[in-house]
Amino acid sequence: MAMYQVKPVFGDDIKIDLPTCMYKLPSIHAQRSASGCSEHALQNGGTEVDPAFRDLEVRQDKIMRRLYELKAAVDGLAKTVTTPDADLDQTVTSLSQSPTATAFRGTADLDSLLGKDLGALRDIVINANPARPPLTLLVLHAMLCKRYRVLSSVHVHSSVSGVPAQLLSCLGPRHADSYVRQRFQLGFTLIWKDVSKLQMKFSIQNMCPIEGEANVARFLFRLVAPYPSDPALATLVDSWVDTAFFQLAEGSAKERSAVLRALNGALGRDPWLAGPELSLADIACYCCVLQTGPAASCPANVQRWLKACENLGHFGPAHPLLQ
């Protein structure tokens, strides 16, 4: 039983409309004029485009191409500028390319040998002491120039002074188009610096420096010709290379005499030191033999082999530094 009763205020037939949203805003799309809709349609699917947008796209394309060129140049310069070798006093730049060489390896071959690089130029940077010029690398540089478009440059570090003129021009004269790095396939930068061992830097991000003329020569020769696939022949090449640099170039007089006798015996059996054609073993031994003394004092087979090497024309850049 209810405590008390109250009469209803409204009747049962009253209907109240409840709101379906908190608040309403006028539609901005519905208020567009006919001209505005037409312009929107033309820009998003029509055949005509606003000239201002077209000019903006052209300008953006030019900026992007310019940025790509600058990035490629910076990627090449970073191999020298971001290292302590940036303190350079003198610079000689040259385009090294054999006038008789008409065929070069393509970029795809360089990609397979050196790895994919986003930059337009792969720059090989070598630090060498002017007191011990790397004749082997000059010979390999001449061979590289017959296969690739090589941008060569010679610098002098502030740690050395009084570098002879023949060392400054050992890679050739300065070229007028040396600033356009995108036209070349390979960069070869030689820095005369006070270092105890020859050093090579190729990719400062992905690989450590390579030290020693023998090791750098092995790296560069693989860009010219493949190493022998026969393990025994490849071992023979490496053995002669080590013998040339550690016994002929740095050994005692007794060691040099022993190596000359071994060379004379090997060249009495075959025209070249390893295999049927010129190899890195011949290049290394040739340069080290001439650095140790005159060719007239060598055994007969060695003298004949020296003349055969000179007839190939690869060893011309090393001769001015032997005088």
Residue 163 pairs in a beta bridge with none
d(CA 137, CA 192): 13
* 108, pLDDT greater than 80: no
d(CA 302, CA 286): 9
Q: What is the pLDDT of residue 179?
A: 60
d(CA 323, CA 165): 13
d(CA 291, CA 86): 31
**Sheet architecture: strand order including 210-211:** 88-96, 150-157, 186-192, 122-128, 199-201, 210-211
Q: What is the pLDDT of residue 119?
A: 58
Q: Do residues 222 and 143 make contact, with C-beta atoms less than 8 angstroms apart?
A: no
Q: What are phi and psi of 245, to 5 degrees?
A: -85, -30
Q: What is the pLDDT of residue 305?
A: 93
Between 36 and 223, where is the model more confident? 223
Q: Which fold has domain 231-322?
A: Glutathione S-transferase Yfyf (Class Pi); Chain A, domain 2 (1.20.1050)
* 79, pLDDT greater than 70: no
Between 103 and 309, where is the model more confident? 309
For the segment 156-181, the average pLDDT, to the nearest whole number, is: 78
For residue 25, which amino acid is it? L
Residue 151 pairs in a beta bridge with 95, 187
pTM passes above 0.85: no
d(CA 36, CA 182): 48
Q: What is the CATH number of domain 66-224?
A: 1.20.1050
For the segment 73-95, the average pLDDT, to the nearest whole number, is: 53
d(CA 103, CA 245): 33
Query: Which residue intervals of the chain are DSSP H helices?
Result: 34-45, 51-81, 107-114, 135-145, 165-168, 213-224, 231-243, 253-269, 280-292, 300-311
* 98, pLDDT greater than 50: no
User: What does DSSP assign to residue 245?
Assistant: I
Residue 96 pairs in a beta bridge with 150
Tens of pLDDT along 263-284? 999 999 999 998 788 999 999 9
The answer to which of 88-97, 124-133, 195-204, 289-298 has the lowest mean pLDDT is 88-97
* 218, pLDDT greater than 70: yes
pLDDT tier for residue 88 given thresholds of 50, 70 and 90: very low
For the segment 61-75, the average pLDDT, to the nearest whole number, is: 81
pLDDT tier for residue 206 given thresholds of 50, 70 and 90: low
How many CB atoms are located within 10 Å of the residue 59 CB? Answer: 10
Q: In the chain, which segments carry CATH 1.20.1050.130?
A: 231-322
Mean pLDDT taken over the chain = 78
Q: What is the pLDDT of residue 257?
A: 92
**In this structure, what token pair is assigned to residue 122?**
């792969």
Q: What is the pLDDT of residue 147?
A: 86
Q: What is the pLDDT of residue 321?
A: 73
How many CB atoms are located within 10 Å of the residue 1 CB? Answer: 2
Tens of pLDDT along 8-42? 776 667 777 787 888 888 877 765 544 444 444 44
Pairing of strands 186-192, 150-157: parallel
Tens of pLDDT along 297-307? 899 999 999 99
Q: What is the pLDDT of residue 214?
A: 93
* 128, pLDDT greater than 70: yes
> Whose CA is closest to 191, among 163, 231, 220?
163
